Amino acid sequence: MLPIMEISGSLNMVGYGLATIGPGIGVAMVFAAVINGTARQPEARGALLSTAWIGFAVVEALAIIGIALAFAIQ
């Protein structure tokens, strides 16, 4: 009797899922820091947001690269 395994899908999708854990939490930490800073000094919101965009870009890039790699790696 042979084993019956009807598994479909791609390990690349598992890799993308793992690649979003860090950026998902990380980008949220950046914006949560902006929100906490704005609650403490409302007039500093512009300066905080301009820094947050830098952090957002470099952290979110890791997940976006994961999308590209999920299609590129075979």
Least distance CB 68 / a copy of itself (angstroms) = 9
The DSSP secondary structure of 45-72, one letter per residue, reads HHHHHHHHHHHHHHHHHHHHHHHHHHHH
Q: Which helix (H) or strand (E) holds 31?
A: helix 11-40
- Tokens 């919101």 locate to 45
Footprint of a copy of itself on residues 45-64 (CB under 8 A)? 45, 47-49, 51-52, 54-56, 58-60, 62-63
Residues lying near a copy of itself in the complex (CB under 8 A) are found at 1-42, 44-45, 47-49, 51-52, 54-56, 58-60, 62-63, 65-67, 69-71, 73-74
